[in-house]
Structures are given as C-alpha cells and as structure tokens.
Amino acid sequence: MSSKIAARHRIIETGGMTQDSPEIEPKRPEGHACVQSYLASLDNSPGVYRMLDEESRVLYVGKARNLKKRVSNYANPNGHTGRISRMISETASMMFLTTTTETEALLLEQNLIKQLKPKYNVLLRDDKSFPNILVGKEHGFPAIKKHRGAKKEKGSYYGPFASAMAVNNTLNHLQKVFLLRNCTDASFEARTRPCLQYQIKRCAAPCVGYISDADYGSLVKDAENFLAGKSTKIQENLAADMQAASEAMEFERAAALRDRIKALTQVQQSQGINPKGVADADVIALFMQGGQACVQVFFIRANQNWGNHDYYPRVPADASPAEVMQAFATQFYDNKEPPRMVLLSDDIEDSDLLVQALSEKAGRKVEILVPQRGEKADLIANALRNSRESLARKMSETATQARLLKGLAEALDMDAPPNRVEVYDNSHIQGTNAVGAMIVAGPEGFATGQYRKFNIKGDDLTPGDDFGMMKEVLTRRFKRLIKEDPERTSGNWPDLLIIDGGMGQVSAVAEIMTEWGVTDIPMVGVAKGVDRDAGKEEFHRTGKRPFALRHNDPVLYFVQRMRDEAHRFAIGTHRAKRAKSQFKNPLDEVPGIGAARKRALLAHYGSAKAVSRAGLSDLKAVEGISDSMAQSIYDFFHERG
C-alpha cells in the first residue's frame, strides 16, 4: 500500500516563533500552547501529523481529513482523555505532511507508526508474513510445496495458512491423496529410479515415467480443485474408482484408493470449522483487558479454515476498541494481500477509507463487515473466545516472567529487573563453520524476532578459540549498537548480558566492553559445575567470587532455559552453515562460471573433482568453454592446489 502514497511534504517545527535577541533563543512553548502556535500555518488539507517531545522523540502519529481542524482540537485544553492530555502536555514540537487524499493519509500514518513506533500509538509488534501452498507451473510435472515471501515463481498460490505447521500438515495429507512430487527440479532431472516418496505412496514417480503427463495433470487439477474448495466431486470419483477396483478384484489398487480417501477426510477434519457461507475471509476479533489486548485472526479460504494466529499489539492506556482495531487492520494488511471479505468484532471509524485502500491493493472489491447474526457472527464469536482465552494465558505467563526477572535481578544484585536480557553462545566443530548466537528475553518471554547470528570472520583466530570468538561477537554487537543508537533510545540496548561460559569468557567480554566504553551493563557467565551437571551451575562476575543458586530455585531454571535456548539457536545456525558448506560446489567459486557453463562442465566430466583434474586442452574441448575461460578454470584449480 505504501507504494501508492504520493505525499507533499511540509514540515513545521517552530510554529512561527520570533526571536527577540540573536544571542538568546526563546524557550519553545509546550503542551497546548505549542499546538496552538501551529494553527496559523495550517490549511484544510488532509495529511499526517507528528507530535514530538522536547528531545524530538515522536510521541504520536495521527492522520486527519482536515489538518487545521484536527490540530485545533488538541489546542483546546478541555475534553480529552487522560492519555491524550498527557500526550499534549509532553508535546514540544510538531511535524506535518500533507497528502492529496485522506486514504493516502491513512496509509502514510500506519507506515510511520510501524517505522517510528511512537509511545502513544497502537503498534502491531509481530508482523510476519504467512506461508502459502504453491503448485508450480514452470515444469511439465508441477511440484507442490510450501512458499513464503514474494510470489515471483510461476504457479498457483493457495493461502495464507496461519503457520508453517498448518502448511506442512496439509501438504503431508495432500501428498497422500494426490501423489504430487515435492522434490526440486534438479533432483527430478537427476533421478534414475523412484525415491522413498514413491515407496511410501506419496508420489506417483513421474521422474521415471511411472505415470503419464495426462494422468499426472489430472492429479494436479484435482489437487487445485481441492485447494479451491471443490472437494466433494474428488471424493465421489475416488470412491467410484475404489468400488470398480474392488469389483475387478484389484485389491491392492482398491486399498491404495481407500488410503487416499482416508487422507482426504483427515485433511478436511484438520481444518476445523469450515463455514458453508463464507468462502474467502479473514476473521479478526479483539479482546481487551487490564490495559492489554489480544487479536485473533482466522484465515478462511475456499470455505476452509486454514488456521489462526494471535497478536498482542502494544496498546496505550485509554485506547478504545475501535482505535485498536483500526490500527491493527491497517498495519496488518500493509504487507499482505487482503481477502474478499474482512469480518471484524468491533466497528472502526474509517471503514470507508480502509475499504478503499484494501480494494486498491487487491485490485478488486473488498468488504469490511461487523456481523451481528448468522454464520459470520458465529465465526466472530469463536474467534473472540479464542482471543479472550489467549490473553488470559498471556497475562498469566507475563506475570510469571515478571517474577522471574525480578528474582534474577535480586540474585545478581541489580537495581531493577531487566527489560532486555541478551544471552550469547558459540558453536563450531574444531573451529570449522564457527557461528555466534544471541537470543533475547524480556517481560514477554523470548523475543525471537530479535535473535541474531554471527558468522565468525576472524582470520587470526586459532581454530576452537572460544574466547576469541566471543570477543568478535561482542565487538560486532556493541560497535553496531554505538553506531546506530548512541543515545540508547531504541530499546535495543541490553540491561543484562548472560554468557555461556566461565570466568575466561566473562573476562574476554569485559575486555571488549571496557574497550567500547560500555561498563554500566551487568554481565554474568553461566558455567556447569565441577561435575558438569545441570542444576550445579556456577555464576561468574568480574571482580566477585563465583556463586550458585539452590538446585530448586525457579530463577536457576529460568537461567537454564535461556542458556538452553541460546545453545539451541547456536547449534541450529551452525548445522545450517555446515550443511550448506557440505553441498557447496567448487565450480561456484570460479570467476565467470555461471549456471550454463557449470552444467556443461558437469555434463562433460561428471563431477567438479574431475573438472579440477582436467588438463587445459581437455577443458578447451568442452562445448561453451572458450580458450580464455578454460585457462581461467585451469589456473583456478592449479593455483589452489
């Protein structure tokens, strides 16, 4: 949606204040007086306004059909909620951007909110993309697979699904029913005999000609019909084929068809509530309690429930359900294609603007409804119940997390519970494929979106030098923090560092922190005790004696859980890097060798190793390899050797 915004920028910072003396700058007015000072310079254009505090931090971003009229409301000291009154009292300056239409202002407002994260706005904190199922169309025998991200590959996309697990479960059953391949095109072309998928009856083995183009095409068509909600006819056909096979005493084929029918039934059951009268919709329900909110989104596609996802937006005090719902819906569809219908539990103020924006984004009409009766209202009621239950669980978990953070602060003699704990670990095998990992925990648990991995680059490191690796990781981390946020205003600075290791690792990290002038952040190393048993961990801090917590202390379990999460993330990152290096082709490193020349060389010699051993005259004989390229290939491998 942001690409359609064509805003005319006009920034006003001082409100036309005069300066009596060139040597003394007058103090800017604050609060209502500050807002009042801008009215003379505003017109009746639509646009977006920003309210900033005395340190130029953005407090609030809002949109207006009429900027002058909206700002004049803030200039009036009466009739505001407590939240708005506090916001106005903190305002020291304002900025304005005019737009050609109010719809543009709506979209620009939400883009700025997501970018600037103002204190007094509703903010959607988890805005990930969702996976789809892709039936490819670039190959004669299309594959069915999971897809996430931009839809660049030619084919039919079905979704979104609420999670990777929902997609994987559906794909698992669809492969049993329709026997479509899920291998890569390269693997398909290289097969000379059926793979395991054929043996376990999840693929028709088109790679070795066990099924004709026409018959495989029929399977693809059936799979697409099912994903489009036309499954009744498929079941009828399978049942008829099973009956015919049974009557012809082809019992093995009849059993295979029976298994396919069973798998089709299972995938339908796994999709839960499948509405008959709602074909294509997102069901969005909001529940608010105790200053917190949970939004449940159910995805209905082709009359099938493709799962749900819960969100916990940051909600300012006194925010109304209508305000929260409007902010959520606008931010949610900023990077997602909207369905034909959006069902909401709460009405929003600018539904007409949002309808227009979503319709323009989708290239077709989009409806926004707040149903009061019938099947659509039942869908909202179900989503609202899930939202209420999810928020109750979240609030309970948050309270527990707060107690653990408080206990951790007490154990480490900290002044206050940490809001952001960063835990570091390294992973390698004898120094190879070394990676560093950072995980983040806070009042709401693990912040997986804040996790970071570090490919160890130090050429001067001794293989297996854990101290040197930790130094490199922390150097890169704090160098970037100091560069990007020297004033520590972003919330990305840690309140506590936990290092997986003993006094050696702690000393290495302390050296780096001193070098960068960051000496006010508490740090502790967590090492296994003398028996290296979980539960006997020792805590190491610079300048202090090691200590241990009692074996049944909840804080100890909390630290163990954070350390184990860092270890899991580090191990996973290391394994991914190692797997990638194992399948790396030496030809990829030869300058000037692209996909076509690599295929020609492999077709001629059979392997990269054979290419590396080839003589110069042999290389020149390969089709598509010029004399100069043959010389480059020969020099590359012989210089390496």
The reply to whether 387 and 483 lie within a common domain is no
Taking only the tens place, the pLDDT of each residue in 361-398 is: 999 999 999 999 999 999 999 999 999 999 998 888 88
Taking only the tens place, the pLDDT of each residue in 112-162 is: 998 899 999 999 887 778 899 999 888 889 999 999 888 888 999 988 888
The pLDDT value given to residue 470: 86
The reply to whether 260 and 344 lie within a common domain is no
The reply to whether 239 and 299 lie within a common domain is no
Name the burial class of residue 175, with classes exposed (0-12), middle (13-18) and buried (19+) by CB atoms within 10 angstroms of its CB. Answer: buried
The pLDDT value given to residue 624: 84
Give residue 507's identity as a one-letter amino acid code.
S
The reply to whether 207 and 66 lie within a common domain is no
Residues with Cβ within 8 Å of 365's Cβ and at least 6 positions away in sequence, in order, are 340, 359
The reply to whether 83 and 176 lie within a common domain is no
Task: Provide, rounded to the nearest whole percent, the portion of the chain with pLDDT above 70.
Answer: 88
- Quick one: average pLDDT of 525-532? 73
Name the residue range of residue 101's domain. 2-116
Is 440 in contact with 422 (CB distance < 8 Å)? yes
Whole-structure pTM value? 0.71
- d(C-alpha 438, C-alpha 191), whole Å: 41
**61 within domain boundaries:** yes
The reply to whether 577 and 591 lie within a common domain is no
In 462-516, DSSP assigns E strands to 496-500
Main-chain phi, psi angles of 550, to 5 degrees: -65, 150
| Residue 215: C-alpha distances to residues 190, 206, 238 (Å) | 22, 10, 14
CATH number at residue 546: 3.30.420.340
The pLDDT value given to residue 17: 38
- Quick one: average pLDDT of 288-317? 90
Is 29 in contact with 52 (CB distance < 8 Å)? no
Is 96 in contact with 49 (CB distance < 8 Å)? yes
The reply to whether 334 and 452 lie within a common domain is no
- d(C-alpha 8, C-alpha 24), whole Å: 34
Question: Hey, what are 253's tokens?
Answer: 């084929």
Main-chain phi, psi angles of 506, to 5 degrees: -60, -45
The pLDDT value given to residue 3: 45
Main-chain phi, psi angles of 2, to 5 degrees: -65, -25
The pLDDT value given to residue 333: 92
- d(C-alpha 232, C-alpha 268), whole Å: 11
The pLDDT value given to residue 20: 42
Residues with Cβ within 8 Å of 590's Cβ and at least 6 positions away in sequence, in order, are 632, 633, 636
The reply to whether 167 and 111 lie within a common domain is no
What average pLDDT is seen over the chain?
Answer: 85
> How many structural domains comprise the chain?
5
**pLDDT category of residue 279 using cuts at 50, 70 and 90:** confident
In the predicted model, is pLDDT for residue 23 greater than 60?
Answer: no
The reply to whether 171 and 207 lie within a common domain is yes
Last residue of a domain, one of 550, 581, 612: 581
- d(C-alpha 320, C-alpha 247), whole Å: 66
The reply to whether 262 and 331 lie within a common domain is no
CATH number at residue 84: 3.40.1440.10
